[in-house]
C-alpha cells in the first residue's frame, strides 16, 4: 500500500513535492514516499506549469503573436487524464488521498522540464548556444519530446511497481500512453499556447512594377572608366531577406566604397529585403549576371578591378538567395565562376561572407583573382541576426580594418584576429576566414591598392611596395 504523508504547511509541501518530482524523473518510488498532495498544491503547480508552458510557447514564437486558449486547453488534457488515473487508483486501493498524486507529480515534473526548455530557448535566441554543433542543436527538440513522453510513462512506471501490477498490465498501459501521446502531438502541434498567425509572403504591386526600372537605373548609372587611370568597381549582394543584417551591411559597405574608396558612379547594390523592394534592385542570379555584364562593359579590363562582396546564409557549395514569395535560384561556386568568366572581368577581388563560404574558394581561384571568405569550407560564420548592422566578419573587415589599414592583406589579417577574439569570447568554434591570392594578382594588387587607398599612398615617399605573400588555406 502507498502510505502518503499528511500535509504540514504550504511551503513545506511545496519543497517536498518539488523533490518528489525530481525522484519521479529518475523513475524512483521514493517520489511516492515524500509527496504531499493537497488541492492547494495541485492548483499551485497547475498554474506554474501552465505559466511556464505559455512562456516557452511565447519564446518559441519569437515573442510575437497572441495567446491561444485552444493550445492551453490541449495542454490541460494531460493533467486531467492524470487526475482521472488518480481517481481510478484511489478507488482501486481504497485510498482517497491518492487521487491527486498522479496529476500533482506530472505537473511538477512538467514544470521543471519546461523551465529548462525556456532557458535553452532564451540562450539559443541570443546566440549563446551557437558553439554547439548543428547536429546536437537540432536534436534538442527531439530530446525534449522524449522527456515529455517519459514524464507520463514515469508516473505509470512508479505506480505500477509500487502497486505490483503484472508485467502485461504495465506494458499494455505504457503502450496505450505512447500511442495517445503520438496522436495528441500530431493533433495539437499547430495549436501552441502562444500562436503566430501565418501570413503568406507577398510582394506589393508597386514593387512588382518598380523592380525592372530599379535594376535598369542601377545598371545605367555605372560610368565608363578613364582609360588613363585605374578604377575600382563595386558590386554588393545581400542574399537573404529574412535577416536584415545582410541588407544593412551591403548598403553600409557600398556607401563606404563610394565615399572613401572612390567607387561613386561605379557601384551597384543588389538587396533582398522587404523594406527595399521599391528602392533597390533585388539580388538574383539574373540581376547578378546583368550587373557583372554591365560593369565589364564599362570598365577597362586591363587596368580596372571588380570588388564583389556577397553576404548571406550559406551551406557547403551553396550561397543562399531568398526573397519570398519570389522563387529564386541559388548560387553555387561553379555558376559564380562562369558568370564572372562570361562577363569577361579580368581582375577580381571576391569577398564572400557566409557559413561554409570557404567551399567557394577552389572554383573561384585564378591567377588574376583574390578570394576572401568569412569562414573555412567546413565552418560556420557568425553575427547573422536582425539586431546587428554587420556580421562578425563584415564589421571586423570593412567597418574596422578597412578604415585603418592601407592594404587588403593587412586588413584581412587584422579582421581575422578580431573575429577570432570575438568567437573565442563567445565560446564559438573558430570560423577561420580564408585568403587565396592568384600569382598575377599578387604582382598587380599593390598597384591596384594605390587607387583604392589613395590617401594612405599620398603619405608614402614612393617606396616600392613589396608583393603580398600567398597564405595557404587552413
C-alpha torsion 88→90→96→98, nearest 10: -110
Q: What confidence score (pLDDT) does residue 331 get?
A: 97
Cα angle value 89/92/97 (rounded, 5°):
55
Residues contacting 290, CB < 8 A, separation 6+ = 215, 219
Instruction: Count CB-CB contacts under 10 A for residue 247.
Output: 24
**Measured distance CA(253)–CA(274) in Å, rounded:** 19
Reduce the DSSP state of residue 347 to 3 states and report it.
Answer: strand
Tell me how far apart the alpha carbons of residues 357 and 316 are, in angstroms, rounded to a whole number: 7
With 90 as the cut, is the pLDDT of residue 410 above it? yes
Sorted by where each starts, the structural domains of the chain and their CATH numbers stand as 10-195 (no CATH), 205-457 (3.40.50.1460)
| Contact indicator for 200, 324 with CB cutoff of 8 Å | no
What gap in Å lies between CA 258 and CA 398, rounded to an integer? 13
* pLDDT tens track for 419-439: 999 999 888 899 999 999 999
* Cβ atoms of residues 81 and 87 within 8 Å: no
Mean pLDDT value of segment 1-8: 78
Q: How far apart are CA 21 and CA 108, in angstroms?
A: 5
pLDDT 10s digits, 313-340: 999 999 999 998 889 999 999 999 999 9
314-315 and 267-271: which strand pairing? Answer: unpaired
- Per-residue model confidence as pLDDT tens digits over 120-129: 989 888 878 8
Please give the average per-residue pLDDT across 370-387, as a whole number. Answer: 91
pLDDT at residue 400, rounded to an integer: 96
Mark out the alpha helices in 346-388 (DSSP H runs): 361-364
pTM for this entry: 0.65
Amino acid at each position: 500500500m502507498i502510505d502518503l504523508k499528511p500535509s504540514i504547511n504550504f511551503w513545506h509541501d511545496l519543497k517536498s513535492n518539488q523533490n518528489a518530482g525530481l525522484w519521479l524523473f529518475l523513475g524512483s518510488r521514493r517520489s511516492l514516499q515524500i509527496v504531499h498532495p493537497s488541492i492547494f498544491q495541485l492548483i499551485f503547480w497547475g498554474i506554474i506549469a501552465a505559466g511556464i508552458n505559455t512562456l516557452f510557447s511565447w519564446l518559441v514564437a519569437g515573442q510575437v503573436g497572441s495567446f491561444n486558449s485552444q493550445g492551453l486547453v490541449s495542454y490541460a488534457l494531460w493533467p486531467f487524464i492524470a487526475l482521472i488515473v488518480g481517481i481510478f487508483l484511489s478507488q482501486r486501493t481504497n485510498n482517497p488521498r491518492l487521487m491527486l498524486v498522479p496529476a500533482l507529480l506530472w505537473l511538477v515534473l512538467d514544470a521543471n522540464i519546461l523551465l529548462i526548455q525556456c532557458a535553452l530557448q532564451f540562450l539559443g535566441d541570443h546566440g549563446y548556444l551557437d558553439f554547439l554543433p548543428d547536429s546536437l542543436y537540432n536534436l534538442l527538440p527531439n530530446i525534449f519530446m522524449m522527456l515529455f513522453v517519459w514524464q507520463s510513462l514515469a508516473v505509470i512506471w512508479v505506480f505500477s511497481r509500487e502497486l505490483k501490477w503484472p508485467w502485461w498490465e504495465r506494458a499494455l498501459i505504457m503502450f496505450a500512453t505512447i500511442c495517445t501521446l503520438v496522436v495528441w502531438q500530431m493533433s495539437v502541434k499547430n495549436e501552441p499556447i502562444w500562436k503566430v498567425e501565418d501570413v503568406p509572403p507577398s510582394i506589393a504591386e508597386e514593387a512588382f512594377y518598380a523592380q525592372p526600372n530599379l535594376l535598369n537605373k542601377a545598371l545605367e548609372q555605372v560610368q565608363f572608366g578613364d582609360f588613363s587611370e585605374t578604377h575600382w568597381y563595386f558590386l554588393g549582394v545581400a542574399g537573404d531577406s529574412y535577416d536584415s543584417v545582410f541588407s544593412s551591411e551591403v548598403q553600409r559597405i557600398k556607401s563606404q566604397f563610394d565615399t572613401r574608396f572612390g567607387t561613386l558612379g561605379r557601384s551597384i547594390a543588389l538587396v533582398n529585403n522587404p523594406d527595399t523592394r521599391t528602392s533597390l534592385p533585388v539580388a538574383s542570379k539574373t540581376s547578378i549576371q546583368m550587373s557583372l555584364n554591365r560593369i565589364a562593359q564599362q570598365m577597362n579590363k586591363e587596368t580596372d578591378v571588380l570588388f564583389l562582396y556577397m553576404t548571406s546564409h550559406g551551406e557547403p557549395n551553396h550561397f543562399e538567395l531568398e526573397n519570398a514569395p519570389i522563387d529564386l535560384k541559388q548560387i553555387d561556386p561553379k555558376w559564380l565562376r562562369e558568370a564572372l568568366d562570361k562577363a569577361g572581368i579580368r581582375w577580381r577581388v571576391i569577398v564572400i561572407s557566409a557559413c561554409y563560404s570557404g567551399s567557394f574558394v577552389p572554383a573561384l581561384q585564378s591567377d588574376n583573382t583574390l578570394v576572401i571568405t568569412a569562414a573555412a569550407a567546413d565552418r560556420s560564420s557568425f553575427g547573422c541576426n536582425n539586431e546587428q548592422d554587420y556580421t562578425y566578419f563584415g564589421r571586423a573587415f570593412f567597418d574596422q580594418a578597412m578604415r585603418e589599414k592601407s592594404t587588403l592583406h593587412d586588413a584581412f589579417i587584422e579582421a581575422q584576429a578580431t573575429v577570432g577574439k570575438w568567437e573565442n569570447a563567445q565560446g564559438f568554434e573558430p570560423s577561420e576566414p580564408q585568403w587565396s591570392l592568384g600569382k598575377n594578382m599578387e604582382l598587380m594588387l599593390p598597384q591596384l591598392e594605390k587607387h583604392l587607398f589613395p590617401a594612405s599612398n599620398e603619405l608614402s615617399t614612393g617606396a616600392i611596395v613589396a608583393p603580398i605573400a600567398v597564405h595557404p588555406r587552413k
